[in-house]
């Protein structure tokens, strides 16, 4: 286990030149750098904090999501680029930008946007919240009664848990936990042992809340809060009796938090991960955030301690740990400041029957979460756990939570004596600890737990149930584009297919056999699976559409994914565009393809939808000369998904279901209220209603359409 990645084998910095006519599709100008594109997504999230049509607490949430997104961006993306430089193994993508240049460009954009974030918070969000009765009371605003309450709180709840660290030769600079809140304190005087270094570090206790509500009887209405950082700052002198405190400044260090496993060095994946979870907290430094009133002398001292440069310093006008304000953003009691609640619907065919297997034996069920409930998926598993006719259950788990309803049902099934097999991907980033707990819980219940394939993450979302019906074994399956996490199913847009199609279920069975056992790749009739057939089939379908256009036939592609970075797929889409294929890409996050380039991508349009729900579904639709082809998938158009993960793409068949998904795609393409349009230069422009056109928000429309009377659209 190591924090840093071992140098990979030498690779070509750019794909080989591939010319179509006079156009060189390896031209670096045709590609956007993936990390810079990811930054653009984060900026679009931050933009939501300024959207007056969004309720105020939800606007704060978007601003805080920007913070957590940027944390992960530095922990993973920036850390990876720094590693490449440190190991002298710089990899250059199709865009041709080397890591050093990319880091400089990232630094410039990130500094601008983080400064903008604090300006939005201080000048817009906090004043508007205060006007609504939700306040974060600053130290210079405390009344006498509030000061007395804070002092008591500090002395009884905070001070006993603080360990101040004076810096001297016997107390070197402490090893600070990733993203922890800390203070650097300037001191004057000689302590009881004759020490007078003049500096100390005060780590804020991680067990304490970062936000405390002041009692109503010492406030003048509304809900009033103080930050832990303010409480410590106001009373830091009590931690150093007899010394003079000349300055106290908060700071936070972001570290490399990626976990990398060398398959050649691992004989027990779970044990290796348990060891790595601790070291993640102390990876190499990648960013330093400090209060903007911190003296340059102290900033330089901190930068030297962490081996960082001025480009990696972020001076902020406010708390350095903004993610801790989610308590304010989620505070109940202010319904007018939050999205109105809604009730996910359940399809009629499932409402009419208590036996989900009987329903599925008649027809497939397609669900679009969160507009349609995730409950049928959970109920399917619960029924299987109790049904004496069910003999075996197999399921993949990527992010589910160790105490979810899905896991509860699997535990019940195992305890009931059914053959339960769970393929758990332990390396789901930042969910490793939860997945280790989940694995132990299932093993204790008697389930067979498999950790997938070392070096290839299992990202497919599959459930297979085998049931005896008369003299036959009948299979039922769930295939999804999202995770088996009931909480995420209320926040993420994802498709679920519930089916008893014997051919598709047989394919799912083969894939489980491949994951749990050993053997050559088994041919499948309907299911596409990475890293073997998914990418090849998608490229073939793009090429087929290209051929139709070249033959003068109508040709069209619509793809909805979270990211487009795979250079081979991008080149195929460029070729299709040049042949005349009309291509619409709905890409939530990173997109390395440049649309609208004359003669190359002039037939490609790219839009990103950001709204109340996180767009997460993956849809691949092809006109196919009048015989539409439609696949839903767990995979984005990224190298890691298509080449280095176990992913699935499953067909949606039957005219009724295909037309349904196509209508929903058309709503996305008509959105002129929450969509941003990617420009050839890599920037995004917010879509606007045309003259005389009413605003169209796809998420609002889907709430109204699929939730019916249960929807309350803001």
The 10s digit of each residue's pLDDT in 527-562 is: 999 999 999 999 999 999 999 999 999 999 999 999
pLDDT band (50, 70, 90) for residue 487? confident
pLDDT band per the 50, 70, 90 thresholds, residue 443? confident
Choose the most confident range, by mean pLDDT, from 191-195, 285-289, 396-400: 285-289
What is the per-residue pLDDT across 348-374, written as a single tens digit (0 to 9) for each? Answer: 989 888 899 999 999 999 999 999 999
pLDDT band at 432 (very low <50, low <70, confident <90, very high): low
Q: Which stretch of 151-160, 259-268, 375-384, 690-699 has the lowest confidence by average pLDDT?
A: 259-268
Judge whether 668 lies within some domain: yes
Residue 713, pLDDT above cutoff 60: no
Q: Does residue 7 form part of some domain?
A: no
Tell me, what CATH number does 581's domain have?
3.30.870.10
* Within a domain: 127: no
Residues 477 and 483 sit within 8 Å (Cβ to Cβ): no
Q: How many angstroms separate the CA atoms of 235 and 183, rounded? A: 12
Q: Is 224 annotated as a binding residue?
A: no
Higher pLDDT, 625 or 3: 625
Measured distance CA(659)–CA(551) in Å, rounded:
26
- 256: CATH: 3.30.1840.10
What pLDDT is attached to residue 480?
96
The tokens of 358 are what?
Answer: 């009987």
* One domain, residues 281 and 371: no
Decide the pairing of beta strands 618-622 and 629-633: antiparallel
CATH value at residue 88? 1.20.58.310
> Is there a contact between 537 and 400 (Cβ–Cβ < 8 Å)?
no
My answer on whether 456 and 596 are in the same domain is no
Q: Which of 401, 517, 393, 523 is nearest to 452 (CA)?
A: 517
Do 353 and 310 share a structural domain?
A: no
User: What is the pLDDT, as a whole number, of residue 268?
Assistant: 46
Tens digits of residue pLDDT in 649-685: 999 999 999 999 999 999 999 999 999 999 999 999 9
pLDDT of res. 19: 53
**pLDDT value at position 267?**
45
Coil vs helix vs strand at 497: strand
Does residue 496 share a domain with residue 375? yes
Is residue 663 part of an annotated ligand binding site? no
pLDDT band at 484 (very low <50, low <70, confident <90, very high): confident
pLDDT at 261 over 80: no
Concatenated DSSP letters of 67-113:
HHHHHHIIIIIIHHHHHHHHTT-----TT---HHHHHHHHHHHHHHH
Residue 333 sits in the same domain as residue 440: no
Q: Are residues 200 and 307 in the same domain?
A: yes
Query: Per the annotation, does 399 bind a ligand?
Result: yes
* Residues 269, 396 within the same domain: no
Instruction: Tell me whether residue 136 is in a domain.
Output: no
Question: Are 28 and 84 members of one domain?
Answer: yes
pLDDT band at 456 (very low <50, low <70, confident <90, very high): confident
**pLDDT value at residue 8:** 40
Q: Distance (Å, rounded) from C-alpha 484 to C-alpha 482?
A: 7
Q: What is the pLDDT of residues 226-259, one digit of tens each?
A: 999 999 999 999 999 989 999 999 999 999 987 5
Domain boundary among 317, 337, 357: 337
Q: Which region among 190-199, 327-336, 461-470, 517-526 has the lowest average model confidence (pLDDT)?
A: 190-199
Q: Is pLDDT above 60 for 423?
A: yes
Burial of residue 297 (number of CB atoms within 10 Å: 0-12, 13-18, 19+): exposed
Q: What is the pLDDT of residue 429?
A: 60
* Residue 709, pLDDT score: 45
In degrees, rounded to 5, the angle at the alpha carbon of residue 292 between the alpha carbons of residues 291 and 293 is: 90
List, by residue number, the catalytic residues.
Answer: 459
**Residue burial 164-194, b: 16+ Cβ < 10 Å; e: rest:** ebbbbeeeeeeebebbbbbbbbbbeeeeeee
588: annotated binding-site residue? yes
Give the per-residue pLDDT at 90. Answer: 85
Q: State which of 522, 541, 567 marks the end of a domain.
A: 522
Check: CB of residue 694 under 8 Å from CB of residue 671.
no
Q: Is residue 68 part of a domain?
A: yes
Tell me what pLDDT residue 431 has: 57
In 3D space, the residue among 515, 514, 511 whose CA is nearest the CA of residue 528 turns out to be 511
Average pLDDT over residues 78-82: 93
Task: Share the mean pLDDT of the chain.
Answer: 90
Residue 360 tokens read as 């599925």
Q: Based on the domain organization, do 539 and 682 belong to the same domain?
A: yes
Residue 135 lies in a domain: no
Residue 392 lies inside a defined structural domain of this protein: yes
Whether residues 210 and 354 share a domain: the answer is no
What is the per-residue pLDDT across 110-134, written as a single tens digit (0 to 9) for each? Answer: 999 999 999 999 999 999 999 999 9
For the residues 562-587, what does the mean pLDDT come to? 98
DSSP string, 512-572: HHHHHS--SPPP-SS-EEETTTHHHHHHHHHHHHHHHHHTT---EEEEEES-B--HHHHHH
Q: Tell me, what's the pLDDT at 522?
A: 86
Dump pLDDT digits (tens) for 386-404.
Answer: 999 999 999 998 876 666 8
Predicted confidence at residue 544, as pLDDT, reads 98
Q: Are residues 314 and 418 in the same domain?
A: no
For residue 282, what pLDDT band results from cuts at 50, 70 and 90? low
Among 463, 488, 522, where does a domain finish? 522
Higher pLDDT, 456 or 477: 477
Q: DSSP secondary-structure letter at 130?
A: H
Verify that 224 and 254 share a domain, yes or no.
yes
pLDDT of residue 401: 67
CA distance 114 to 67: 8
Domain range enclosing 462? 348-522
In sequence order, the 6+-apart residues with CB closer than 8 A to the CB of 198 are: 186, 187, 188
Q: pLDDT > 90: what percent of the chain?
A: 75
pLDDT number for residue 170: 64
The tally of domains found in the chain comes to 4
Q: What is the pLDDT at residue 4?
A: 39
Q: Is the pLDDT of residue 515 over 70?
A: yes
**Is 90 exceeded by the pLDDT of residue 274?**
no
Q: Are 292 and 278 in contact (CB under 8 A)?
A: no
What is the distance between the alpha carbons of residues 464 and 396, in angstroms, rounded to a whole number?
9
Residue 158: pLDDT band by 50, 70, 90 thresholds? very high
The closest alpha carbon to 483, from 503, 499, 463, belongs to 463
5 belongs to a structural domain: no
DSSP 55: -
659 Cβ contact partners less than 8 Å away, ≥ 6 residues apart: none
The pLDDT score that the predictor gives to residue 189 is: 83
């Amino acid at each position: 286990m190591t924090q840093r990645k071992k140098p990979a084998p030498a690779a070509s910095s750019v794909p080989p030149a591939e010319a179509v006519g006079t156009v060189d599709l390896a031209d670096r100008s045709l590609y956007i750098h993936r990390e810079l594109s990811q930054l653009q997504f984060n900026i679009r999230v931050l933009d939501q904090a300024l959207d007056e049509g969004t309720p105020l607490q939800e606007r704060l949430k978007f601003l805080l999501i920007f913070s957590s997104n940027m944390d992960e961006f530095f922990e993973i993306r920036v850390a990876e680029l720094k590693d490449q430089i440190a190991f002298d193994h710089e990899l250059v993508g199709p865009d041709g930008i080397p890591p050093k240049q990319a880091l400089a460009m990232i630094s410039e954009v990130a500094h601008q946007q983080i400064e903008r974030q604090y300006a939005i918070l201080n000048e817009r969000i906090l004043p508007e919240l205060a006007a609504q009765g939700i306040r974060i009371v600053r130290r210079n605003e405390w009344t006498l009664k509030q000061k007395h309450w804070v002092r008591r709180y500090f002395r009884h709840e905070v001070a006993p848990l603080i360990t101040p660290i004076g810096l001297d030769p016997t107390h070197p600079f402490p090893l600070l936990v990733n993203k922890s809140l800390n203070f650097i304190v300037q001191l004057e005087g000689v302590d009881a042992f004759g020490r007078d270094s003049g500096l100390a570090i005060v780590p804020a206790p991680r067990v304490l809340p970062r936000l405390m509500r002041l009692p109503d009887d010492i406030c003048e209405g509304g809900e009033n809060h103080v930050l832990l950082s303010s409480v410590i700052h106001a009373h830091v002198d009590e931690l150093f009796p007899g010394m003079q405190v000349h300055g106290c400044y908060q700071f936070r260090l972001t570290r490399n938090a990626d976990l990398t496993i060398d398959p050649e060095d691992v004989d027990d994946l779970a044990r290796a991960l348990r060891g790595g979870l601790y070291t993640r907290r102390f990876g190499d430094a990648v960013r330093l955030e400090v209060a903007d009133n911190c003296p340059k002398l102290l900033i330089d001292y901190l930068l030297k301690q962490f081996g960082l440069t001025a480009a990696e310093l972020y001076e902020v006008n406010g708390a350095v740990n903004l993610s801790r304000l989610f308590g304010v953003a989620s505070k109940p009691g202010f319904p007018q400041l939050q999205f109105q609640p809604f009730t996910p619907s359940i399809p009629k065919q499932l409402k009419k029957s208590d036996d989900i297997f009987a329903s599925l034996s008649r027809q497939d069920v397609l669900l679009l979460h969160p507009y349609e409930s995730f409950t049928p998926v959970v109920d399917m598993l619960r029924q299987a756990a109790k049904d004496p006719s069910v003999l075996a259950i197999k399921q993949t788990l990527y992010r589910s939570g160790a105490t979810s309803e899905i896991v509860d049902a699997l535990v019940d099934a195992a305890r009931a004596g059914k053959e339960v097999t769970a393929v758990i991907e332990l390396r789901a980033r930042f969910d490793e600890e939860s997945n280790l707990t989940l694995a132990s819980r299932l093993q204790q219940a008697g389930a067979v737990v498999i950790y997938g394939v070392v070096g290839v993450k299992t990202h497919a979302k599959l459930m297979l149930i085998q049931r005896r019906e008369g003299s036959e074994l009948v299979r039922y399956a769930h295939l999804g584009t999202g995770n088996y996490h009931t909480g995420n199913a209320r926040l993420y847009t994802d498709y679920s297919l519930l089916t008893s199609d014997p051919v598709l279920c047989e394919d799912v069975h083969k894939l489980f056999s491949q994951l749990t056992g050993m053997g050559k790749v088994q041919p499948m009739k309907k299911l596409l699976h990475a890293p073997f057939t998914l990418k090849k089939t998608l490229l073939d379908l793009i090429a087929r559409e290209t051929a139709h256009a070249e033959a003068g036939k109508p040709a069209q592609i619509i793809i909805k994914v979270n990211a487009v970075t795979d250079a081979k797929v991008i080149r195929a889409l460029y070729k299709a565009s040049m042949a005349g294929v009309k291509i619409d890409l709905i890409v939530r996050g990173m997109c390395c393809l440049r649309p609208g380039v004359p003669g190359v991508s002039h037939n490609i349009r790219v839009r990103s939808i950001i709204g109340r729900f996180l767009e997460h579904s993956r849809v691949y639709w092809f006109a196919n000369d009048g015989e539409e082809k439609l696949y839903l998938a767990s995979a984005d158009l990224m190298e890691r998904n298509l080449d280095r993960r176990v992913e699935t793409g499953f067909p949606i068949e039957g005219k009724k279901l295909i037309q349904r998904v196509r209508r929903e795609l058309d709503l996305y393409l008509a959105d002129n209220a929450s969509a941003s349009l990617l420009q050839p230069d890599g920037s995004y422009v917010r879509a606007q209603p045309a003259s005389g056109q009413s605003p169209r928000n796809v998420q609002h429309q889907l709430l109204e359409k699929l939730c019916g009377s249960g929807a309350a659209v803001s």
